[in-house]
């Protein structure tokens, strides 16, 4: 019997792919010289007025539509007041009680089938600047530095319902959400650079009972850390409860070196922030036409796309999920099929050879020398028995290193499969003549020796004989020709 059930909800921040910041014209360039992308608006100078970035709002709407949220005709920016040295205005412009979108969901694939995870809300907000505490950034023992380039860059916060039940599910949810923001061209998904950051809310309870007290683990910047932090929190909370103690609602930090979470501060409440509507911005009004225009521009999302692969191509969950990892990869797979390959073979080649080769050579798919069209043609040559599977691998290697057309490579390397029955018969006769002892054994009933004789025919043809035809003709010769 399961004594405890984990309950997890994620808050994910995604940096939007805009050229300028959310409320000013400063560039959002990552890695620019510190404090070179700033202006009176994002520095919080008195009297400077914010102007919302249309593209940022459009990108937020894309993600909200892709996750089935309702876009509100009117949403309201609010000031979230707190002091920190990376926040020059003394408040962050965010959204509070009237967010851009609410009530969506996404589907994750689990061991027990698909599960729908609720999305409570998606709102738009600005990022804070960055504090530099380490020596490589120029800080010293008693001095930290502030870089405000990031202050005012646009984010969306995507808040899940407390629907996740394990670290595996939390990872599956974040994986799918990352794919979705990337499919939407809304975020580059780069967790190392902080384009996608995740806070995990964790509690445990008796199965089916009331929600327990939660803790919130901040700023998990990789899938591995998310998994480890959630597992640690679940174990820690269960141990507390089993000892008869209580979970304290608080904000915690994950320490990757030790693999533990540590209390950071007691949990702040909304009223601590003195939220109030941003007086310098009118309500954000979204008209129905823009919503339908944005909806029409959305590509097919990874979940439905993987489901389509399972349905139409009979692929399993693992393969279909691998192929939809990125839009580019899924497009490549479909173009391989369009170029003449069967779906099954295209799936195998793309997930093994193509991904393997890109990985090994450290090239992006878009720079890979073997285009989907070249791969599709190669596979179709195997499927029409023009070349063997082994020869196809050689063709693929040649294309990956030097490019070139598959047909031209088959010709140049003499890889065309031998299907000419007369030529194969001539080889079979030579093999029979040269292996009298084995032929004798075969004829006296040791039919197992047949494999050896076929092998000899293949060898004689330098591996080029069509194996099926070689089999057939050798049998004919052994059965019908003079002893």
Residues that bind ligand ADP (CB under 6 A): 7-11, 159-162, 201-203, 211-212, 214, 216
Task: Name 418's bridge partners.
Answer: 465
The residue count for binding Mg ion (CB under 5 A) is 1
Residue 242 CB, nearest distance to ligand ADP (Å)? 18
Can you read off the two tokens belonging to residue 98?
């009237």
- Cβ closest to Zn ion, residue 41 vs residue 64: 41
Rounded least distance, CB 164 to Mg ion, Å: 15
- Identify the burial level of 180 via C-beta atoms within 10 angstroms of its C-beta, where 0-12 means exposed, 13-18 middle and 19 or more buried: buried
Tokens 């899924």 locate to 330
423 Cβ neighbours under 8 A, 6+ residues apart = none
Contact of 71 with 65, CB cutoff 8 Å = yes
Show the tokens assigned to 456: 């000899």
Residue whose CB is less far from ligand ADP, 7 or 317? 7
Q: Name the minimum Å distance from CB 48 to Zn ion.
A: 9
Q: Which does 42 bind (CB under 5 to 8 A by kind): Mg ion, ligand ADP, Zn ion, none?
A: Zn ion
Q: Would you state the torsion angle of the CA atoms of residues 33, 37, 42, 43, taken in this order, to the nearest 10 degrees?
A: 50
Residue nearest to ligand ADP (CB): 9
When the beta carbons of 17 and 170 are compared against Mg ion, the nearer one is 170
Residues 226, 174 contacting (CB under 8 angstroms) = yes
Percent helix, strand, coil in the chain, to 5, is 40, 20, 35
Using the minimum distance from each CB to ligand ADP, give the nearer residue, 37 or 123: 123
Minimum CB distance to Zn ion, residue 377 (Å): 51
| Binding window for Mg ion (CB under 5 A); candidates: 9-17, 34-42, 438-446, 465-473 | 9-17
Residue 139 beta carbon to ligand ADP: minimum distance, rounded to whole angstroms:
30
Residues 18 to 37: which contact Zn ion by CB under 5 A? 24, 26
Cα Rg, the chain, nearest whole Å: 31
- Name the binder of 248 from Mg ion, Zn ion, ligand ADP, none, CB < 5-8 A by kind: none
301 with 182: CB under 8 angstroms?
no
Query: Are 126 and 93 spatial neighbours (Cβ–Cβ below 8 Å)?
Result: yes
Which region among 11-19, 94-102, 289-297, 333-341 touches Mg ion (by CB under 5 A)?
11-19
Q: Which does 117 bind (CB under 5 to 8 A by kind): Zn ion, Mg ion, ligand ADP, none?
A: none
Q: Which does 263 bind (CB under 5 to 8 A by kind): Zn ion, ligand ADP, Mg ion, none?
A: none
Give the residue nearest to Mg ion (CB): 11
Candidate ranges 5-13, 102-110, 167-175, 387-395; the one touching Mg ion (CB under 5 A) = 5-13
User: Which is nearer to Mg ion, 97 or 408 (by Cβ)?
Assistant: 97
Say how far apart CA 57 and CA 443 lie, in whole Å: 80
CB of 362 to Mg ion, least distance (A): 38
**How far is Cα 428 from Cα 441, in angstroms, rounded to an integer?**
17
Task: Identify the sign of the CA torsion 135, 138, 141, 143.
Answer: negative
Measured from the CB atom, the residue of 11 and 231 that comes closer to Mg ion is 11
CB of 216: closest distance to ligand ADP in angstroms?
6
Beta strand pairing status for 77-81 and 276-277? antiparallel
- DSSP character string of 348-403: HIIIIIIHHHHHHHT--GGG-SS-HHHHHHHHHHHHTTSS-HHHHHHHHHHHHHH-
What does 39 interact with, of ligand ADP, Mg ion, Zn ion, none (CB < 5 to 8 A by kind)?
Answer: Zn ion
- Binding-site member from 10, 12, 22, 42 for Zn ion (CB under 5 A): 42
Q: Is 148 in the site for Zn ion (CB under 5 A)?
A: no
Q: Structure tokens of 150?
A: 């990031």
DSSP string, 292-307: HHHHHTPPPPHHHHHH
Instruction: Report the nearest approach of ligand ADP to the CB of residue 97 (Å).
Output: 11
Cβ proximity to ligand ADP: between 31 and 208 the closer is 208
User: Which option in Mg ion, Zn ion, ligand ADP, none does residue 26 bind, with CB closer than 5 to 8 A by kind?
Assistant: Zn ion
Closer residue to Mg ion in complex, CB, 155/375: 155
One DSSP character per residue, 3-65 reads: --EEEEEEEEEEE---SB-SSS--B--TTPSTT-S--TTTTT-TT------HHHHHHHHHHHH
Q: How far is the CB of 27 from Zn ion (least distance, A)?
A: 9
Q: Which residues bind Zn ion (CB under 5 A)?
A: 24, 26, 39, 41-42
Q: Which residues bind Mg ion (CB under 5 A)?
A: 11
């Amino acid at each position: 019997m399961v004594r405890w059930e984990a309950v997890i909800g994620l808050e994910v921040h995604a940096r939007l792919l805009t050229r300028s910041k959310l409320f000013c014209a400063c560039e959002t360039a990552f890695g620019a010289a510190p404090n070179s992308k700033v202006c009176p608006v994002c520095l919080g100078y008195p009297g400077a007025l914010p102007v919302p970035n249309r593209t940022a709002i459009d990108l937020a709407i894309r993600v909200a539509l892709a996750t089935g949220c309702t876009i509100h005709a009117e949403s309201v920016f609010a000031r979230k007041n707190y002091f920190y040295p990376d926040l020059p205005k003394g408040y962050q412009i965010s959204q509070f009680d009237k967010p851009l979108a609410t009530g969506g969901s996404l589907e994750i694939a689990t061991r027990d089938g698909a599960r729908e995870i609720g999305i409570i809300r998606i709102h738009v907000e600005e990022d804070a600047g960055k504090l530099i505490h380490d020596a490589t950034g120029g800080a010293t023992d008693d001095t930290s530095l502030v870089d405000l380039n990031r202050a005012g860059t646009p984010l969306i916060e995507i808040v899940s319902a407390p629907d996740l039940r394990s670290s595996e599910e939390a990872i599956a949810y974040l994986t799918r959400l990352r794919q979705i923001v990337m499919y939407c061209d809304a975020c580059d998904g780069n967790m190392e650079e902080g384009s996608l950051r995740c806070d995990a809310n964790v509690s445990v309870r008796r199965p089916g009972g009331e929600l327990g007290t939660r803790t919130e683990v901040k700023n998990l910047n990789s899938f591995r850390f998310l998994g480890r932090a959630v597992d640690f929190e679940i174990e820690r909370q269960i141990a507390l409860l089993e000892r008869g103690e209580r979970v304290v609602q608080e904000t915690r930090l994950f320490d990757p070196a030790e693999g533990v979470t540590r209390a950071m501060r007691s949990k702040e409440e909304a009223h601590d922030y003195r939220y109030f509507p941003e007086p310098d911005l009118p309500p954000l009004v979204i008209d129905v036409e823009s919503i339908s225009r944005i909806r029409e521009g959305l590509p097919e999302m990874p979940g439905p796309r993987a489901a389509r692969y399972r349905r139409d191509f009979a692929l399993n969950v693992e393969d279909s999920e691998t192929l939809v990892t990125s839009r580019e990869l899924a497009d490549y797979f479909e173009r391989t099929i369009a170029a003449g390959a069967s779906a099954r073979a295209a799936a195998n080649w793309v997930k093994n050879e193509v991904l393997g080769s890109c990985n090994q050579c450290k090239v992006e798919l878009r720079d890979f020398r073997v285009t989907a069209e070249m791969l599709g043609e190669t596979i179709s040559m195997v499927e029409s028995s023009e070349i063997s599977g082994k020869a196809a691998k050689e063709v693929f290697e040649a294309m990956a290193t030097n490019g070139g057309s598959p047909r031209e490579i088959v010709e140049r390397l003499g890889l065309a499969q031998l299907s000419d029955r007369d030529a194969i018969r001539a080889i079979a006769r030579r093999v029979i003549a040269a292996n009298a002892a084995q032929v004798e054994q075969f004829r006296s009933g040791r039919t197992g020796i047949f494999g050896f004789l076929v092998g000899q025919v293949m060898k004689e043809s330098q591996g080029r004989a069509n194996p099926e035809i070689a089999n057939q003709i050798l049998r004919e010769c052994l059965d019908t020709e003079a002893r």
